Structure 1
Amino acid sequence: MQYKINKIIITFSISALLLLFISCTDDAPNSEIELEKSEIIDVSYGDHAEQKYDIYLPKGRTTQATKVFILVHGGGWVEGDKKDMKDFIPELQQESPDYAIVTINYRLASQGNSPFPMQIDDIKAVIAQLKAKKDEYQIANNYAFIGTSAGAHLGMLYSYSYDTNKDVEMVCSIVGPTNFTDNAYVNPTELTYLFLALQIQAITGVSFEQNSQFYIANSPYHVVTEDAPPTLLFYGDEDPLIPSSQGIDMHAKLDELGVTNEFTLYSGEGHGWEGANLLDTTEKLRAFIQANF
């Protein structure tokens, strides 16, 4: 009798374990621990002190669904910092809570230390590291650039000319230069346009007269193709640094190529704005993200 009881107990135990295993297997996708919201600051992606980024990771992220905003600061390619883009973060987290956000620093240019291709190489390195850390961060290989001024130029230039894998699904330019061969820069009549033209020549070490092809190759207007990602453009018609032709011509070129785009030129605004126009920018950016990213 003792033998029979033990045998029944053993049989029951094995059956219970099998049921437990089957139950755990069936429920596995739903029993995974949901990742919490987190942020990692000053992640190095190269040996230079300026090669760092911050990443803001959403709750419940996955490698299949968590797309990534990459925010690129301005500063004329020679100054600025990722903290300059911090005001975008709360808005993006509120309106796109399932997306990750990356703010990047890149090596700053100086006289004789050209930003091209140095700063594009830095963007390449950031994206390469994000891909390498995809499983660690639990993010997808889908990106959108939002840049201001020089940062907008870099975001467009990378997206149009260097994104060979077509990972960039959207790019937003806020007062970003688009065409270095614009007559406003090549033959400037405004002192401020002359200043920017001279700055570009000083930091690249190349004049337009010496090498116009260099200026063409680093102009989003000239390198964009019909495969470009949807593009959102914001400019002011009294910008002392970026003539309105930079936005108007870029919009026309994108239309000509059949690239999805929206363009806003704010009357009376310069190299940035506040109040009602800033609210308008925020609302249009939100809608464009919802439609295209």
Structure 2
Amino acid sequence: MKNQIFLILLFLFLASCTEDAAPKINPPLTYLEKLDEPYGTDDLQKMDVYLPENRQVDITKVIMVIHGGGWSVGNKGDLNPLVKRLKAHWPGAAIVNINYRLALPNSNHHPTQINDIQKALQFLRSKKNEYQISNNFALVGHSAGAHLALLYTYHFNTDNDVKCVADMAGPAQIKDYEWNKTMAPVFTQFMGFPLNAENTTAYSEASPWYWIDSNTKPTIVFHGEIDVIVPIYQSNWLVGKLNENKVANQYKKYPWEGHDFNSTNLNDCALKMVSFFKEHM
């Protein structure tokens, strides 16, 4: 009888040990949206975060989307149609759509917007474990947002976390006296001073084109051939210098397309940039 009791107790002990030793498997993560997530104290320092299901820390890549509007108007909702297509074409990526402080006549001049991109990236790095994402980023912007995406990637990406960038009709060289004849108020509000002989260096250094060299990150460019807001020669200049420096790039021009992209062309942009990002991230 004593032997039977001993054997029963031994069996229960071993069973409990086996149960404790079994690895705990966390259930797969579900899709999650975090809208208007603050990454700073200003009302405009907010982001929409779209986290895919089954995401994993250090594996799930992140695409940051940056809206346009001449650096002084617009908001992240303007690029929701692009976000929708990016999510559809790369369901395994995390998408982050940011607002940033807009340039005003007497404040928030360059590099305020660049500082906000940097702050947003720092915030995402701090949330890496909570969000279950990697520090592997791609930036995409439209118009002034494309300028910011290019400039950050080419010159301010000191952590080397941004691996590639997509430019949708963005200004590449704002030290452009001919274009400045019609865009002077926009450029002046962004920079805080006009383009003239005394300020050419500052305008050059605020231009993505200026910083291109053989170490520049891979870049994909989209532009409408009848764009009257940002002339297509801006993208021609950009791609020309990328090619001179043997930087990996793709360039897609859309005939009969203006500054904004119709639904068909926007979908084509999203497909092409996802393919490009997958290759270079």
Aligned structure 1 segments of 4 or more residues deviating by more than 4 angstroms: none
Mapped partners of 1:100, 1:212: distance in 2: 39
Alignment correspondent of 1:9: 8
Counterparts of 1:218 and 1:92 in 2: how far apart (Å)? 28
> Using the alignment, how far apart are the partners of 2:91 and 2:156 within structure 1?
28
Amino acid at match of 1:52: K
Equivalent in the alignment of 2:40: 46
Instruction: Report the residue type matching 2:280 in the other structure.
Output: N
Paired residue for 1:101? 95
TM-score by length of 2: 0.93
Return the alpha-carbon distance in structure 2 between the equivalents of residues 19 and 262 of structure 1. 56
Contact 1:114 1:204 in 2 (8 A): no
Aligned to 1:169: 163
Tell me which residue corresponds to 1:270: 258
Aligned length: 280
Deviations 1:99-136 (A, max 9, x none): 11100000011113243110011011101110111111
Q: Provide the C-alpha distance between the structure 1 equivalents of 2:200 and 2:67, rounded to a whole number of angstroms.
A: 27
1:197 paired to 2:191: no
Q: Which has the higher contact order (CA 8 A, sep 6+)?
A: 2
Structure 1 range deviating more: 83-92 or 149-158: 83-92
Q: CA deviation at 1:165?
A: 1.3
Separation in structure 1 between the aligned mates of residue 13 and residue 223 of structure 2, nearest angstrom: 71
Partners of 2:55 and 2:17 in 1: CA distance:
32
Q: Considering only aligned residues, what root-mean-square deviation do their CA atoms show, in Å? A: 1.7
Amino-acid identity (%): 35
Gaps of 5+ in 1: none
Q: CA deviation at 1:19?
A: 2.7
Task: Report what 1:128 is aligned to.
Answer: 122
TM-score normalised by length of structure 1: 0.90
Q: Which amino acid aligns with 2:100?
A: Y
What does 1:210-289 correspond to in 2, within 5 Å?
210-274=198-262, 276-289=264-277
Is residue 146 from structure 1 mapped to residue 140 from structure 2 by the alignment?
yes
Cα distance per residue 1:208-262 (max 9 Å; x no partner): 2221111111100001232222111111232222122210010011111121101
Task: Spell out, residue by residue over 1:146-187, the C-alpha distance to the aligned partner (whole angstroms, 9 max, x if none).
Answer: 1100000101111111111111112111010010123xxx13
Q: Distance in 1 between matches of 2:14 and 2:60?
A: 40
- 2:118 aligned counterpart, secondary structure: helix
CA 1:276–1:66 in structure 2 vs 1: closer, same or farther (change >3 Å)?
closer
